[in-house]
Structure 1
Amino acid sequence: MGTEQIIDDLLDLNILKESTLFYIESDKNIINESLNFFQKYFKNVIISNDENNIFELFSANQKKIDIILFDLDFEKSVICVSKIRELTTLPLILTTKQLDFKTLEKVIHYRIADYIIKPIKYNTTIKILNNILVERYNIKLIKQQKKELEIYKDILDKENLISETDLKGNIIYANDIFCEVSGYTKEELIGQPHNIVRHPDNSSKIFENIWETIQSGNVWKGKIKNKAKDGSSYYIKSTIFPIFDEEGNIKKYVASRFLITQDEEEKQTLKRYILQQKSQKVRTEQEIEQKYQDLLKEALESKDKKISSFVSELQKEIKILRGRINDDKGRILNLEHKLKDSENNAEKAHDDFLEKISKLRTTTRISYEKYEKFKKLNDNLKEKLLKAQESIKVYQEYIDEYRHKIDDLNDVIKSYEDDKKKAEAAKK
């Protein structure tokens, strides 16, 4: 890893890339040399080389400037620093060729963030600028968060019942709504144990669970019934949490609550109504059941002719139905015999089918064995054929070789004959 990469890893590049540097330098050569370096890290670099236009440039860009790098080697540098400080509280870093203690004594009370001796070592300079900007960013962030917390606290304070207790559970703070609902003044509450508003209807296990939870550093949430100074009851939904000091130790407890008395009263009313309706339903069902039993008993004891006639007709119908049932029994018995014959036939057909399947399996097995023998014979034939083809190929190579030799001999014979003819022709 190169030196430049190591430096980059030590910087908060996100903060630098969102920052603007106001660079005031008397030496143009240094400006030309350092501009590319600073532009690599900063979102924007505003440069001034002239004492006369410093404040004009600053006024035009004051809202976007985040840090100032100022050269003390200007003729009127001390005056410029004092004017800059009148205009802004931005971090101010000084550069100088020589460490002039007299000059430093004059400017030091203008809240100088740091100073750098020339020639500027860029890696050191960028780390100094980065550290100052990160610190400034963190301070701004803390202020912003503090402001937001104050807003949230104000909202909670206006809407919820807020109280704070020490580690023993004694009240050290109570807001106006808490006092209004409980009926106590702040003077009556401060220093008292928080159980001053505890309602006896609550189980002691609830408060054991609360203390166990918050003393462990966790948040407790739940519903509690409280008692006001005049003895009236009110219901609250509570969130109780510990506040820690810088070393991580619990220093106090804060409780935020909102009233749910109306909801609870409506729930209790609804529960009572439901119970009443259930009781009424049970009574009504009992009355209906009793009336039914009475009517039934009356009907059974009655000797009314209509009932007798109805019973007589009913007996006739029963007799007819019994006859039909006997006829149906005969038909059912006949159908059962037919079903049994059908089952026997189906069983026989099934046995015949199984026998055919067995024979087919035997035939298939024999055919498979014959196929395996044929396959084995065919594989042997293929192997012999391959060997024969290899032999033919070898013989073919021999034949080609002999053909080449014959061709060579023919060429020799032809050459010899040609030479002979030429010799004979020369003799003539």
Structure 2
Amino acid sequence: MSIDKNLLKRLTLLYVEDDDTIRGELTDLLGNFFKKVFSSKDGKEGLRTFLENEDEINIILTDINMPVLNGIEMIRKIRGVNEKVPIIFATAYSDNEFLAEAIKLKVREYIVKPIDIRNLLSLMNEIASKLYQEFLLKQQQDELSKYKEILDSNNIVIKTDIHLNITYVNELFCQISGFQKDELIGKEFKYLKYPDVANDIYTNLYANVLNNKSWQGKLKNIKKDGTFYNTDAYVIPTLDDTGEMTGAISIQKDITEELNKKREIQLALMKEKSDIYIRSKEGSLEQNLIINDLKNRLEIAQIELEQAMKNLDKYIYSNEKYRLENKNLKTEIGLYKKNSNTNIAFKLSKENSDLRLEVKKLKEKLTSLEQNDEKRFIQLKINYEEKITELEEKIAELTEQLDSVQSDDVLLQKLEYWKDKAKEETQRLENLEKQIISFADKNLLSKIFG
């Protein structure tokens, strides 16, 4: 058998031998394999060394025949305080009496001197392997114990027999349910079912567990006072070494508070949605009122703009009429001037005199008309410019209000249309002004725009 030095290096050895030479040589040799080696010259010293270092010493190798206190007596005293530490006897004798006593003292092995080192290390390796397995097992048991403690402190634990009758409940279950342990022992598992829970849930649970399958789901359990609590439950069958079912264990987590919080959140969300819906309806009604008001004001502005365009057309027509009258008057004046310069002027002195008077009157009338036209033109221009500016400002104001409360495509398109319409009318007015400028007399234009 190969020697696993890593296993031996984990252990501490107590070596008791009265022969100084053998003890010294073997201590040095074993020191290469073990973590630490204590050596003692007799049973009394060996006992004292063990008692002082009991938690550290893992294996004892001792001779039987020693002065002061022999090996048998030393081991007997050690067994009084420690029944598990492995012991190997080394002796030159193979007396049956010693062997019988060694068996009573639970001595692990027995080797005959002179010691075969290979055989000794092989025996110690077997012991080290078993000790390591025991260490791992203890470690697992400690971990399982911690897990169980954590499980018990945070979860409801219920155990049943093969018929799913309750055999154990933990303290947390009693705290939550209000039942005492002795009130439930022997009761069937579904005794905990709240009355309004469907029987199908427990039928399915029983069918799974009794067929050696696990079950997971939510349960609504009854409390002693008649109220209930909700759990997230996991039920698994327990088996013996042969795989036969011995019962079941249920691990449950109380989720009552969690469900209550979810319900509160859902109710709050529903209330919030209802409030939002009501506010949106109120806001929509208010918005519709504002939009309708803006529509009415826009329609009024449109009517005013159309009326202004009609007035502008009238003004343009009147202006064109007076322009033509002025032109005719200028033509008549030119004819009168031309006739007054002919060779027969001296024959028509009386007529010329009358004509001069008429021309004077016509000039005065023309001047008066020009002045009146100039005043009317300027006044009309100022009035309509102010009207157009006022309408443009009103449209801009209505547009801004409409943009702040409404994004409806139709209204926006209408607004854009009236913007474009206003631009077109402005352009039209500019074109009319250009036409007026192109046809009117320069003297009149200089007086109007001078």
- The verdict on a shared fold, with TM-score over 0.5 as the criterion, is yes
2:185 is the counterpart of 1:82: no
> Of 15, 21, 30, which aligns to 1:23?
15
Counterpart mapping for 1:6-405 below 5 A: 7-8=2-3, 11=4, 13-31=5-23, 34-50=26-42, 53-74=45-66, 76-86=70-80, 88-89=82-83, 90-143=85-138, 145-147=140-142, 149-150=144-145, 152-154=147-149, 156-199=151-194, 223-293=218-288, 308-310=303-305, 312=307, 318=421, 320-321=423-424
SS in 1 for 2:129: helix
Q: Secondary structure at the match of 1:226?
A: strand
**Shift in alpha-carbon separation, 1:147–1:306, aligned structure 2, 3 A:** closer
Contact persistence 1:182–1:197 (CA under 8 A):
no
Which digits, 9 at most, give the CA deviation of each residue in 1:350-398, with x for residues without a partner?
A: xxxxxxxxxxxxxxxxxxxxxxxxxxxxxxxxxxxxxxxxxxxxxxxxx
CA drift of 1:69 comes to: 0.9
The alignment's TM-score, normalised by the length of structure 2, stands at 0.57
> In the alignment, is the contact (CA less than 8 A) between 1:160 and 1:257 conserved in 2?
yes
SS in structure 1 opposite 2:2?
helix
Partners of 2:155 and 2:61 lie apart in 1 by: 50
One-letter code aligned to 1:171: I
Return closer, same or farther for 1:226/1:311 CA change in 2, 3 Å cut-off: farther
Give the Cα separation in 1 of the matches to 2:299 and 2:173: 79
- Per the TM alignment, residue 186 of structure 1 is displaced from its structure 2 partner at its CA by 3.4
- Aligned CA distance change for structure 1 residues 110 and 292 (closer, same or farther; 3 Å): closer
Alignment CA distance shift 1:91-1:284 (3 Å)? same
Closer/same/farther in 2, CA of residues 243 and 56 from structure 1, 3 Å limit: same
Secondary structure of the residue that 1:40 maps to in structure 2? Answer: coil
> Structure 2: which 5+ runs fail to align?
308-390, 396-417, 429-450
Q: Take 1:237 and 1:139, find their aligned partners in 2: how far apart are those partners?
A: 37
What amino acid is aligned across from residue 236 of structure 1 in structure 2? T
After superposition, the Cα gap between the structure-2 partners of 1:48 and 1:304, relative to the gap in structure 1 and judged at 3 Å, is closer
- SS of corresponding position for 1:47: strand
Cα deviation per residue 1:179-204 (whole Å; 9 max; x = unaligned)? 34334443443333323333466677
Cα shift at 1:305: 5.5
Q: Which moved more, 1:133-142 or 1:60-69?
A: 133-142
How far residue 72 of structure 1 moved from its aligned partner, in angstroms, is 2.0
**Alignment CA distance shift 1:121-1:301 (3 Å):** same
Using a 3 Å threshold, how does the CA distance of structure 1 residues 283 and 54 change in structure 2: closer, same or farther? closer
Q: C-alpha distance in 2, partners of 1:95/1:316?
A: 118
Q: Deviations over 1:277-324 (max 9, x none)?
A: 212322332344345556656776899855621555687961743896
Quote the RMSD (CA, aligned, Å): 4.1
2:61 is paired with a residue whose SS is strand
User: CA, structure 1 residues 38+298, in 2 after alignment: closer, same or farther (shift >3 Å)?
Assistant: closer
Counterpart residue identity of residue 74, structure 1? M
The Cα offsets for residues 104-162 of structure 1, whole Å up to 9 and x where unpaired, read as: 23443222222112332222222222222333444455445445544554454454322
| Amino acid across the alignment from 1:164 | K
- 1: distance between equivalents of 2:138 and 2:257? 40
Structure 1 pair 322–304 and aligned structure 2 pair: CA distance change class (3 A): closer
Q: What SS does structure 2 have at the residue aligned with 1:318?
A: helix
Give the whole-Å Cα distance in 1 for the aligned partners of 2:269 and 2:121.
75
- CA gap 1:136/1:324 in 2 versus in 1, 3 angstroms: same
SS in 2 for 1:7: coil
Work out the CA distance in 2 between the residues paired with 1:168 and 1:282: 56
Change (3 A) 1:254 1:316: closer
- Matched residue type, 2:424: L
The number of aligned residues is: 318
CA distance in 2, matches of 1:304, 1:320: 17
8 Å contact from structure 1 (residues 82, 107) kept in 2: no
* 2:32 alignment partner, SS class: helix
1:163 positional shift: 0.9
CA drift of 1:101 comes to: 0.8
Unaligned 5+ segments in structure 1 are: 1-5, 326-428
Deviations 1:60-80 (A, max 9, x none): 544422111111243644333
Please say if residues 7 and 123 of structure 1, whose CA atoms lie closer than 8 Å, have aligned partners that are also in contact: no
* Change in 2 beyond 3 A, CA 1:251/1:324: farther
- Identical counterparts, % of pairs: 28
What amino acid is the match of 1:309? E
| Distance of 1:311 and 1:186 partners within structure 2 | 94
What is the alpha-carbon distance in structure 1 between the residues aligned to residue 119 and residue 134 of structure 2? Answer: 23
Compared CA separation, residues 176 and 60, structure 1 to 2 (3 A): closer
Q: State the SS of the aligned residue for 2:304.
A: helix
In structure 1, what residue type is equivalent to 2:37?
V
**Cα deviation 1:82-109 (Å, max 9, x = unaligned):** 3443454322211122311122234432
